[in-house]
Structure formats: C-alpha cells, structure tokens
Amino acid sequence: MATIATRAKSILANQQALLLIVLLVMVAFFTSRNHIFFSNAVFGNIISDWAPIVLIAIGETFVIISGGIDLSVGSTVAISGVVAAFAMRSLTTNGTSPTTTLILGVLVSAGVGFLVGAINAFLITKTNVVPFIATLVTMGAGSGLAIVFTGGGPIGGGPDQAIQLSVPKVGPFSYPGLGIVAIVVALGLFLHKARFGRYTYAIGSNEFAARAAGINTKRHLAKIYILSGILAGLSGYYYYLRLGCGAPTSGLGGELQAIAAVVIGGAALSGGEGRISGTVLGALILTTVTSGLIIINVAANWKQVVVAILIAAAVLLQEARTKGSSSKFLANLFTKKK
C-alpha cells in the first residue's frame, strides 16, 4: 500500500509524467466520443495548430524562467507575418523565384521579430521598465500596426508553393513542422544543458546572486527577449505558410496561449522554474483540447473554460508540491525528536 502511495506521489511530483497522463486521457476521451479523432488527419491538424504555439511558448518559457513576461508575442506573430507577406508579394511581382522568395520571407519575419524583441530588451534593460509594461507597449503597437498596414485584410500574392509546405508529409508533421521540432529540441538543450539556460535560471532564481557571480544579467535578459521575438517572428511565418497569406489576426491572443502552455507545463511565474518538455506538452494539451472539442461537437467557447480549469489545476498542483515538501520537512523534524 505504502509503495503505491509513494509511487503515486512521485508521479504527482513529476509534472511531465502527469501532463502525459492528462494528454493520454484526453486522447482516449475524445476518441471514445468520436472515433474520427484517432486518425492521422486529426493528429496532423493538431500538430499544425501546435507548431506555431509551441514556438512562441518556448520563447515565453525562457522569459518566464528568467522571472519576466512577454505579452508582445501574439502581436509579433501578426506584424511579422504581415510584413513578410508584403515583402514576398513584391518579390513575387518582381519575378523572384518562389524558393528565394520563401527563404527571404523567413529572414524578414525573423528580422521583424528580432526588432520587436530588441525594443522589449531596450525598454526592460536600458530604461528599466518592468517587463509586463514594456511588452504591453509593444503588444499594443504591434497589433495596431498590423491592422494599419493591412487595412485589416489578409495580404496574399506571394508564392503559391507556400501553402503546399504546410501539408503533413512525415506522419502528422509538415516539413516546416519538423523544422519547428528541431528548433524546440535545440533550444531545450540550450536551456537545460548549456550556459545560456543556466544563466536564465540563475537570473529568475536570484538576480542579485547572478550579478554577484559576475553574470551580465542585463545583457542576458536582452538576449532572452530578442530570442522570444525571433521565435514569434518565425511563428508568424508559419501562419503565413498555413494560410497562404499574411493576416493581421494571426497570433491573436497568442500571448495568453503561450503563457497558458508554459504554466500548464509547470513553470512558475515567479521565475527559476520550468522545463521545455513541460511547455511542449502544455501546448500540445491546449491544441488537443481545441481540436477534440470541435470533433465531439462541443461549442468552441468551452475551450476557454477547459483551458482555465487546466491552468487552475496546474497552479494548485504547484502549490501542493511546495506545501508537500514543507510538510515533509516538518514530519522529519518530529520523527527525529522521537
């Protein structure tokens, strides 16, 4: 009995294992309600939804572990997709080859993301604006500009090959989707195995200690916000590929989805805590809920409610974990006295 209890406890303490169980339960539930759910087509769709969200959520993971927040990622998705769409349209009209156009499009959207990230970095590290306000500013400006530039409508006229690229080719993954998986894996290694991640955790855990240890915390934070911007830019490009045009509404509310994925993944908004694997699963759960509810014919707005419950559960679990360790500490004290 005791071993079962301790094993259950250790699973509860392992956010990743728990998330995997939640995900499997969801898949089983949706499949039991409608067998169509368990198909390559639906999985392909889920992965296509997941890819752009996980990109911004990974950036958000670095930001949140460092103790900050980036509210501008959704707007950055919109503005970078739109600017890249304009660029690719004029390249196409000028007779540039589709391949070159699509490659330049990646660079343009990443560049726009870089720019937004650099503005965030400047506001946060040079003018000492708190991240919430700094990124709220760029969030508003970004989504406003995306609508001003486009007049609110989608911008097409780029290479026709774009939309082909977003079709699943390897199981449920499209080629750009595989590219995103590669980015996620690489950044996971950088977060958990390399100096970049070590400093990110250190700053979120105790910025004073990080500075005292000789880490240039401002420069590191600047890099983190720029990284988040670039990833949001790439996410904007992915939406362009999926839609075949740049829409100013792409990425709408993306910041909340990203933050939700990170929190469900077990990161603490107070910084110093979080894992890439948690964010990956968090984003996957979010997109699975969306697709699943549609397939079992539940009104789409229920998604918000389910997501809210998931976030609440994740936060409560975190609370329970910290409390659990302190009560264990107390228990140890008492047993020692015996």
Partner 1 sequence: MSTALYEVKNISKSYGSVVALSDVSLKIHAGEVIGLVGDNGAGKSTLVKVLSGAHQQSEGTVILEGVERKWESPHDALVAGVETLYQDSGLAPHLSVSANVFLGRERYTKGIFGKMGFLAQKEMDAVAHENLEKVGIAVPQSSRSVSQLSGGQRQAVAIGRAVSWASKVIILDEPTNHLGARQAGEVLAVIKAAKERGLGVIFISHTLPHVLQVTDRIVVLRLGKIVADAPTSTFDAESLLGTITGLID
193, with CB counted inside 10 A (0-12, 13-18, 19+), is exposed
Token pair 């769409």 in the structure block, residue:
85
Integer Cα distance of 232 and 285 in angstroms: 20
CA 162 – CA 62 distance, rounded (Å): 30
Q: Contact 59/227 with Cβ under 8 angstroms?
A: yes
Comparison of 175 and 196: residue with beta carbon closer to partner 1: 196
In the complex, minimum distance from the CB of residue 199 to partner 1, in angstroms, rounded to a whole number: 9
**3-state SS class at 299:** coil
Interface region with partner 1, contact rule CB under 8 A, candidates 148-156, 189-197, 235-243, 287-295: 189-197
End-to-end CA distance of the chain: give it in Å, rounded: 24
195 binds partner 1 (CB under 8 A): yes
Question: Binding segment for partner 1 among 126-134, 162-170, 212-220, 275-283 (CB under 8 A)?
Answer: 212-220
x-or-dash string of contact with partner 1, 233-272, rule CB under 8 A: ---------------------------------------x
Contacts to partner 1 from residues 269-308, by CB under 8 A: 272-273
The backbone torsions φ and ψ at residue 244, rounded to the nearest 5 degrees and listed phi first, read 75, 10
Do residues 82 and 150 make contact, with C-beta atoms less than 8 angstroms apart?
Answer: yes
Give me the least distance between CB of 114 and partner 1, in Å please: 20
Residue 4 binds partner 1 (CB under 8 A): no
13 binds partner 1 (CB under 8 A): no
Which of residues 198, 218, 303, 321 is near partner 1 by CB under 8 A? 198
Residues of this chain that interact with partner 1 (CB under 8 A) are 189-190, 193-196, 198, 201-202, 204-206, 208-215, 272-273, 325
